[in-house]
Structure 1
């Protein structure tokens, strides 16, 4: 018998955990800092409502209607579209290969926080700590291996016994920890400047580039194109309310992103740091920020536990996409399939881990392995998968059949006509704009054009 979520709450927490990851905790604050603050946040929320939520509903509905893995979901309705499921599985492999690299960094930094190595405001020391990690192959691969083992152990237990149980612990803990850090950050002297930057929009900052970045943040944040929500939706009970579920997941995802902004930006402003430091915002700037605060050791430790939980709730969902394919479509046993698949992804991630240090050579254009995995998955496969999902639900499955599935739970979909219009026209056009820009960016990188 196919596994099911034991409760709708379990599904919501697991699905929210899948969406809530490293992108929320450093990319959202970084994007906000780089794109005009409140203006970016305003556009982000607008795009979430008109694009993110309709797409989320489409994915979960397709999954529950078919009760199959992402590959089987497309194939069962139209065999010609099975390739979209294949793209999603490949995308999951590649994303988890480089995501586990960063997951390994997080475990290293959690260890460093525990032993007190991050209790300093010396940016030169913190930069050298990060650089030394990237140039230590054994350490890099060891921590990446530990991260993958943790991911595998959770997925081994299945949906209700593994992913759901882990999410029920990690997600509430994540919320509590980020609220504590946010409260501390906004109460710092000078923190009000960061709050105003986050919430008071300067409309003069809005331009096409800011709009594209806000749309991209929504799109990548909810990670629809990877097939996770279709796979997770396939384990839902027919009585579960799809409308409230599909709305709540993006809302929770956005709340965490806003809380991450509140946890980081007021502290960064109050203590005179730069909010546009990209990856180093998490691994160099923030440890210095925490060390500048009273009880800095405690908040640094709390933050990296939080980041690890966010990373794991996303990684288990990516591994489940691949595992569910082999279990559902090939009739394989969950335990050996999970171990073999996780092991293969770890090996696939080895070049990614080493490419920022020992193997820093370019493999394609101006891309090293880490950048190649990132751009191929995020810019090409993820974007293409989400675009094809919108086309599939809007024109192949049809909104009428999707609405029938939604209302089978004895609920009335009052906004059905608006959703149909969005999923058939607005969402594909919006994602299509991102898709064109993503392909252009990827081609330029491959050709070595800056």
Structure 2
């Protein structure tokens, strides 16, 4: 039995855990949803749910990881009582991490590809329609997409194979510090554009009319599900980092640091996107269009656009890669925990496996675009995202909650003791009722409403 690796520093742990949570949802989805659901009010509701919903579940993942010293593959086996079946969750967690990487590597590859395209000046002199065409041509080309996906997979597994401190921690620290620096520079640049104040008003001022238009429940649900998905909780992708930390700090304080860093990135991303969209009179729409069509158009019309565009996409690449590296670290630990593989062996086998598993997503945009699993206009990526986001994340979170608070699982006293071991903020015992009854109810609501939104329209 090898000794469990450790982070070299507390900062490393916080940055990597936040890096796991900070992903494309922060930049891709958050600003758009904020604008759609009434700006400032939505942000407020979102922040409330990050604390009500996200925080307790982060503490649970970290507590299970730290107490068991294992990844999700075997952590429940260590902590459950004899004859219990919680360890079945391990299989779902393992599956969740693989499914996430089946489409995330592709999109992370897009970010790197666009950084390369901007840096080499491929957008210079193109008009609005041609910029849109670049993206259309790119996703229609399976070879080009595969190359970027493979580069992403090889780089990130390569970093993980160097070890926790030498690879994952060193590289992620640098990436996260650069990410924070770049995003601040971009936000300042964006807020000094002409007409930027209109964008800020749209983003941050509460708009009661929009809330009336959608209804308060839809606004609350949107905030709830965004809080849920942005932290990628439920498949143990944070639990692994719990298993790498000492017992010097209580877990509530650390979880707050992770959640705050993730939320700060989301909020600052909005400060980049909205002022820029309003300065150039563009609709801040959702999803790929925003990042790969709208923003390149904006950078193109700015002085020094090639530099700003390159900076933005290297920031996006870091945001994506920080998640990929964190989840790959999990995937490697499955091999180590379950079969006693060495880190190098687990890295090599999984590099090949992930490349093969990522192909359906890549081909779903072109060769296999006739496969529309969730109705017209959907692709393989949508199906993979649906399985993960609407099923495994909420169900996994529910399992973590029930495991930590009920006597049929690990039990509330054990959980509380683990969370409160070390210096820092303590989880109050009086929250037991909330964690036992209300939190599971909220998760079930997210689960059901998610299904209604996908299939009930």
TM-score of the alignment, normalized to the shorter chain, above 0.5: yes
2:407 corresponds to 1:398: no
Residue in structure 1 matched with residue 104 of structure 2 by the alignment? 99
Q: Distance in 2 between matches of 1:420 and 1:279?
A: 41
Partners of 2:28 and 2:286 within 8 A in 1: no
1:185 positional shift: 0.6
Residue in structure 2 matched with residue 289 of structure 1 by the alignment? 298
SS in structure 1 at match of 2:238? helix
Residue in structure 1 matched with residue 267 of structure 2 by the alignment? 258
SS in structure 1 at match of 2:369? coil
**Aligned-residue CA RMSD in angstroms?**
1.6
Residue in structure 2 matched with residue 310 of structure 1 by the alignment? 319
Partners of 1:54 and 1:419 within 8 A in 2: no
Q: Distance in 2 between matches of 1:418 and 1:200?
A: 35
Residue in structure 2 matched with residue 371 of structure 1 by the alignment? 382
Paired positions, count = 444
1:271 positional shift: 1.1
**TM (normalized to structure 2)?**
0.93
Partners of 2:73 and 2:337 within 8 A in 1: no
Q: Distance in 2 between matches of 1:317 and 1:374?
A: 18
1:292 positional shift: 2.0
Q: Distance in 1 between matches of 2:49 and 2:317?
A: 28
More helix by share: 1
User: Residues 164-179 of structure 1: matches in 2 within 5 Å?
Assistant: 164-179=169-184
**TM (normalized to structure 1)?**
0.95
Q: Distance in 2 between matches of 1:134 and 1:399?
A: 48
Residue in structure 2 matched with residue 27 of structure 1 by the alignment? 29
Structure 2 gaps, min length 5: none
SS in structure 2 at match of 1:226? coil
Residue in structure 1 matched with residue 137 of structure 2 by the alignment? 132
Partners of 1:64 and 1:233 within 8 A in 2: yes
Residue in structure 1 matched with residue 258 of structure 2 by the alignment? 249
Structure 1 residue corresponding to 2:434, chosen from 415, 422, 435: 422
2:448 corresponds to 1:436: yes
Residue in structure 1 matched with residue 346 of structure 2 by the alignment? 337
Structure 1 residue corresponding to 2:244, chosen from 235, 247, 253: 235
Residue in structure 2 matched with residue 83 of structure 1 by the alignment? 88
SS in structure 1 at match of 2:303? coil
SS in structure 1 at match of 2:61? helix
Residue in structure 2 matched with residue 201 of structure 1 by the alignment? 206
Structure 2 residue corresponding to 1:61, chosen from 46, 60, 63: 63
- In structure 2, relative to structure 1, the CA distance for the partners of 1:10 and 1:75 (3 Å cut) is same
Residue in structure 2 matched with residue 382 of structure 1 by the alignment? 393
Residue in structure 2 matched with residue 44 of structure 1 by the alignment? 46
- In structure 2, relative to structure 1, the CA distance for the partners of 1:330 and 1:117 (3 Å cut) is same
